[in-house]
Amino acid sequence: MDAENLHYFEKAPIAKAVSHFAVPMMLGTSMSVIYSILNAYFLGTLNNTAVLTALALTLPLFAIIMALGNLIGIGSGTFISRLLGEKNYEEVKHVSSFAFYSSLVLGLIVMAAGLPLIDAIVHGLGATPDSFGFTKDYVTVMLIGSPFVVLFFTLENIVRSEGAAMTSMAGMMLSVLVNIILDAWVIYVLHGGVIGVASATVISNILASVFFACHIGYKSKFLTVSAKWFKANKTILSNVFKIGVPVFVMSVFLGAMSLILNHYLIEYGDQATAAYGISSRLLQFPEFILMGLCEGIVPLIAFSFTANKLRLKQTISFTIKAILGLAVSFGVIVYFVSDHLIGLFTTDPQLIEMGSYILHVTFLSLFITGMTTLFIGIFQATAQGTAAFVMSVIQGITLIPVLYIANRISCFHGVVWSLVIADAVAFLVGAVMLYALRRKLQPDLELLAQ
């Protein structure tokens, strides 16, 4: 960690410090969403609803692969930031080496376990006869490339954990830009269809992983990918997995929620599933902006938790105000232009109507989903494994019965509104747990008050 990064951790004004950590992450995640939207746009030019349906059906699989990267990456990253706050630099090398090699092993396990079960996986994702072939093509490529996808998400997290926010952003943007260029090439030049688009995703993750590995190997002062520093003792495993496992469980639940939603939506036709796929990608833009804000400041929160708890409270307070401002701004924009946004992907009037309706409903919970993400980030950064685990399961546990009841009562409308209800419950649970944690987060303030 260089002197500039240390300055932002310890001394920079809160607004400037939050901007330093969060803005690059927000830009990087927003670029990822732009890629996702363009991905749907390029496939939409094929004028085949079954292709868009296949793209929507594969979201749960990608969520699980990403979850494995975050299992190691976020668990290791928050531990690294706390170690930096304690100035335990040697242990940082052990943790970063562990993160690199364990993520590769996890990816290889996914590939080896998934390929023999490819047909069962595609059926499990809810593919219809029309979309089965397209879904299988996408899933096959993603499973083959899973070691590099897992590695990408791991390395992005640990690079950001030492304060190298700009490098983290550069790697994410490299991945996105390569992906967009390759998407256009395989669709318009090679006519590669779904296989080409999935391959573009894997290739872009490989290149970004190489970029991050080169940074760690040649420019980082404390991180390393050298095997000689690899260590998997009890301290490392417990600190990584007590935060990483809840993150993984949460991501799996999100994937399972998407899978369950697809099964309910498919009852209302391919149009309903495709409309949800398009609208969910559009919703990802503001969600990932808020996610970038909340995840970007996790290293700052983790460092401050071990070094300066007054600065920790000021960081959280500033971030809440930023979430509110962003959520209101995005909500107003979507309210007026939702039809035009959906119309970018399809000319089907039923798809446009359904997609616009889903956008209007789901945007109502944008602020509380942003706050929920902040709660989770705080729990991760402060090593509150139990609270992080509760947050990881509460939304999924809530959604399943709500979805069943709402679908029975209001059919398609109930399915859409169940998402908002589940988000609200997760927010309330997180707020209660954070309130209970307040004394642990600010003992310095209590001493000052005496």
pLDDT tens profile 378-390: 887 777 777 877 8
Neighbour tally for 128: CB within 10 Å = 15
Domain ranges of the chain: 3-440
Neighbour tally for 448: CB within 10 Å = 9
- Kind and range of the H or E run holding 125: none
CA distances from 159 to 217, 232, 296 (A): 11, 20, 11
CA 392 to chain centroid: 13
Neighbour tally for 37: CB within 10 Å = 18
Among 159, 163, 164, 149, residue whose Cα is nearest residue 103: 149
Using only the alpha carbons of the chain, give its radius of gyration.
21
Q: What is the DSSP string of 21-89?
A: HHHHHHHHHHHHHHHHHHHHHHHHTT--HHHHHHHHHTHHHHHHHHHHHHHHHHHHHHHHHHHHHTT-H
pLDDT in tens, the chain (450 residues): 555 566 677 777 888 888 878 777 777 667 666 766 666 666 666 666 667 667 667 777 777 788 888 888 888 888 887 788 777 888 888 888 899 999 999 889 989 988 888 888 887 777 777 777 777 888 888 889 889 989 998 998 888 888 777 788 888 888 888 888 887 787 777 776 777 778 888 898 899 999 999 988 888 888 888 888 888 788 888 888 877 777 777 767 766 776 777 777 777 776 777 777 777 777 777 887 888 888 778 888 877 777 777 787 888 888 888 899 888 888 888 778 777 777 777 667 777 778 888 887 878 788 888 888 888 888 877 777 778 778 777 766 777 788 888 878 878 778 878 888 888 888 888 888 888 777 666 654 443 333
pLDDT tens profile 282-340: 777 788 788 888 877 888 887 777 777 778 788 888 888 889 988 888 888 877 877 77
DSSP, res 190 = S
Measured distance CA(243)–CA(300) in Å, rounded: 16
